[in-house]
Structure 1
Amino acid sequence: MNHHDRGLKTKAHLIAKSLLPENQETPIHFLEEKITPRSLTFRRNHFPYPKFPIQPFFLTITGSVKNPLIFHYSQITSMPSQTITALLECSGNKRAHFEPKVFGDQWKEGALSQGNWKGVPLSYLLSLTEVNTGAREIVFLGDDSGVKDGQHVHFQRSLPLEKALDQHVIVAWEHNQKPLSPKHGFPFRLIVPGWYGMASVKWLKTIHVINHSFSGPFQTDDYVYYPHKSEDKDSFPVTTNRVNSIIQHPLDRQILKPGKHEITGLAWTGEGVITSVEISVDNGVTWKAASLHNPTQKYQWVKWSISHVFEKNHESTVKVRAFDSTGQSQPDQAFWNRKGYGHNQVSQIKVQIEN
């Protein structure tokens, strides 16, 4: 990275999408490193930030368990831990690109960040409480709350027991080698790699084991794919990240000098790993394989690039599509849904070449 690029990076800042509650996206075009700095990690909130009491912090596990337990902050942080490098992507990422338009925060590409998360495996905590045989789901209650549909509610989400016991699901207390910041979930945050960010509940207070399906509003109303504009049939829950990509350079509508330019970006997926990325500079008529730069690792984005010589006095539509090891690829057209989740159609920009 040259001196000029470093200057760009230091000037980057979050891009506001709403202020109350605070929702800000990452300036994704300027991120060259594997880990997103804490100051540039996107912020997604449903309610105002919790007000923290001046007292010790606890995590409670209750419900369908043999041994309900309350853990003090210092107990959690002294347990066997693991560190996971994982991206988090809001399920509303790229919502601004849906046609027809949908309501909600109009995220572009930046509801996406990648971090190092250190915590205790959820499966370890559940082993201490001994989950009952009939248990089906684990409910996670955050300390953030507010009014939704006329009711005062906390943000709550559940995971099926099988997913909750995945070795990579952790209760994190550190983000990028420091205690979680108050804006990203202090004191505890669930991290569910491979699932959209709504599953990674912030300000985690209570873990509740249940023998039935959870039906809170952020489970059965929000974070559901509704394929029809005015009816709820054929709906299904938002879970795993869809295979996706972005172009970081050049920027959309940029004017370039004729000659060789590097086209660069990121690609990622929920399950499996990225296996290939293809680029078209002629609006999808022909495609070429891009180079993948870092080893493709589960739950992490991969950087890709390709060089192309642009001819003068020409407009070019550049497209990118990613493929993963589960057989998924980006569709030519996004799966439209009423709340605007999971947008992952083939990414594109237009550039103009000077005379």
Structure 2
Amino acid sequence: MRNCDSKKLRPNLIPKTLVPENQETPIHLVSGDIISDKLFYRRNHFPYPSFTSSFYFLPIEGQVHISKVFSLQEIYSMPAKTIKVVLECSGDKRELFKPKVYGEQWGKGAISQGIWKGVSLKTLLQYTGLLDNAKEIVFEGYDNGRRPDSNKLYNFSRSLPIEKALDPDTIIAYEYNNHPISFKHGFPLRLIVPGWYAMASVKWIKKIIIIDKEFKGPFQDIDYVYYPNQENDNGKVPVTTINVNSTIQYPLNMQLLHSGVYEIKGIAWTGEGQITMVEISIDGGQTWNKCKLTSSFEKHSWIRWNYTWNALKKGEYTIKSKAADSKGNVQPLEPIWNRKGYGYNAIDHIKVKIE
């Protein structure tokens, strides 16, 4: 059986921009369920922040019974929660939209997965309490800068509704893959919001503010919003839950292959429920066959899959993958086009030629 020898590969991140740093994971060239820190994709709106971590404290204020400032030592001493989570940029696969949309032209690698350890936000909030009028929780990061549409200085800030914030799996993380989170991924504390696109997982948390109204920051109310119309903002809705999706990792797109037996493989993931089926088509979508799911189900992680292909006839082939989840979501033939290019999840496809 032919396959790529992943043990010999030494892939690097694929750069998009350097300041701010935006680089994607070479998702087609990595194996396993855990992405190393060095190969975890990087998404930033601003240059890396500057602050003194040795004097780091985390304040929680606003609509609480008791405002409190937590030291790192206090947070480390609380009951810890460890979860494997897939984080996907909402702009993942943006370059595939037709017609094209403006924004970082991500390929298929603005997605990574690993093991995060921290304290549940619900646990942390037990020390402050929430007032009855609390509606949303705002997370402000240390990263800041000027947006293209304004000369005003902004910190990257996002909010969560109370219900999502109090989900036991929403954590304030301080470790990744059994090591302290690296600076480039949010050291010393990063919010992890399983099931939501990764813009919600705010890095370098500066403070947490509980508010009694809807948060209207630009990274909540302007960016990370689905705009279905090119001409106006009618029908806009916020970007939240990850769409069901899949990616073919091998073979590579436009690869030349000799006739033989090949293992087509990839990953599939979803924001809610679990992946229940992945299908593959070798003939451009005319017929479909079930793939073998090769990794066990874990609540917030991707599923690995493969399919054995007897590629004996010469010619060009369009291979497609389609995932479905337990909530009844199925990858569509075409993505739902939106002006900012979020949430692409159309059936994945590649082309290969058997010589």
Give the alignment's TM-score, normalised by structure 1: 0.97
Q: Residue 66 of structure 1: CA displacement?
A: 0.6
In 2, the alpha carbon distance for the partners of 1:76 and 1:40 equals 27
| Residue type of the alignment partner of 1:303 | R
The aligned counterpart of 2:312 is 311
2:33 aligned with 1:34, yes or no?
A: yes
Uncovered stretches (5+) of structure 2, i.e. residues with no partner = none
| Residue type of the alignment partner of 1:341 | Y
The aligned counterpart of 2:103 is 104
| Residue type of the alignment partner of 1:231 | N
Deviates more, 1:28-37 or 1:95-104: 28-37
* Percent of paired sites with the same residue: 52
| Residue type of the alignment partner of 2:68 | L
SS at match of 2:47: coil
Q: Residue 76 of structure 1: CA displacement?
A: 0.9
In 1, the alpha carbon distance for the partners of 2:64 and 2:87 equals 30
The aligned counterpart of 1:200 is 201
In 1, the alpha carbon distance for the partners of 2:124 and 2:298 equals 26
The aligned counterpart of 2:87 is 88
- Report if the CA contact (8 A) 2:6-2:30 is conserved: no
CA pair 188-136 structure 1, distance change in 2 beyond 3 A: same
In 1, the alpha carbon distance for the partners of 2:53 and 2:76 equals 19
Provide, for residues 51-93 of structure 1, a one-character-per-residue CA deviation record: whole Å limited to 9, x for no partner: 1326321111000001000001111111111101001000000
2:77 aligned with 1:78, yes or no?
A: yes
Matches within 5 A, 1:41-190: 41-53=40-52, 55-148=54-147, 149-190=150-191
In 1, the alpha carbon distance for the partners of 2:193 and 2:53 equals 29
SS at match of 1:262: strand
Provide, for residues 287-315 of structure 1, a one-character-per-residue CA deviation record: whole Å limited to 9, x for no partner: 00000011122210000000111233310
CA pair 327-3 structure 1, distance change in 2 beyond 3 A: closer
Q: Residue 26 of structure 1: CA displacement?
A: 0.3
CA pair 67-114 structure 1, distance change in 2 beyond 3 A: same
Q: Residue 173 of structure 1: CA displacement?
A: 0.5
CA pair 216-70 structure 1, distance change in 2 beyond 3 A: same
| Residue type of the alignment partner of 1:44 | R
- Report if the CA contact (8 A) 1:279-1:290 is conserved: yes
Deviates more, 1:104-113 or 1:293-302: 293-302
In 2, the alpha carbon distance for the partners of 1:234 and 1:155 equals 25
| Residue type of the alignment partner of 2:308 | S
SS at match of 1:337: coil
Matches within 5 A, 1:249-268: 249-268=250-269
- Report if the CA contact (8 A) 1:228-1:337 is conserved: yes
Q: Residue 348 of structure 1: CA displacement?
A: 0.1
| Residue type of the alignment partner of 1:89 | E
SS at match of 1:215: coil
Q: Residue 33 of structure 1: CA displacement?
A: 1.3
- Report if the CA contact (8 A) 1:275-1:296 is conserved: no
The aligned counterpart of 1:228 is 229
SS at match of 2:95: helix
CA pair 54-207 structure 1, distance change in 2 beyond 3 A: closer
2:334 aligned with 1:341, yes or no?
A: no
CA pair 54-124 structure 1, distance change in 2 beyond 3 A: closer
Q: Residue 32 of structure 1: CA displacement?
A: 1.1
- Report if the CA contact (8 A) 1:56-1:73 is conserved: no
Provide, for residues 155-207 of structure 1, a one-character-per-residue CA deviation record: whole Å limited to 9, x for no partner: 00000000000010000000111111110000100000000000000000101
In 2, the alpha carbon distance for the partners of 1:193 and 1:224 equals 19
| Residue type of the alignment partner of 1:260 | V
In 1, the alpha carbon distance for the partners of 2:134 and 2:40 equals 35
The aligned counterpart of 2:238 is 237
Q: How many residues align?
A: 352
CA pair 344-4 structure 1, distance change in 2 beyond 3 A: closer
Give the alignment's TM-score, normalised by structure 2: 0.97
In 1, the alpha carbon distance for the partners of 2:32 and 2:4 equals 15
Q: Residue 230 of structure 1: CA displacement?
A: 1.5
| Residue type of the alignment partner of 1:85 | K
The aligned counterpart of 2:14 is 15
Provide, for residues 80-127 of structure 1, a one-character-per-residue CA deviation record: whole Å limited to 9, x for no partner: 111010010000000000000001111011000001100000001111
In 2, the alpha carbon distance for the partners of 1:286 and 1:50 equals 51
| Residue type of the alignment partner of 2:18 | L
In 2, the alpha carbon distance for the partners of 1:346 and 1:54 equals 43
SS at match of 1:102: coil
SS at match of 2:328: coil
- Report if the CA contact (8 A) 1:241-1:270 is conserved: yes
In 2, the alpha carbon distance for the partners of 1:262 and 1:351 equals 13
2:352 aligned with 1:351, yes or no?
A: yes
In 2, the alpha carbon distance for the partners of 1:152 and 1:318 equals 46
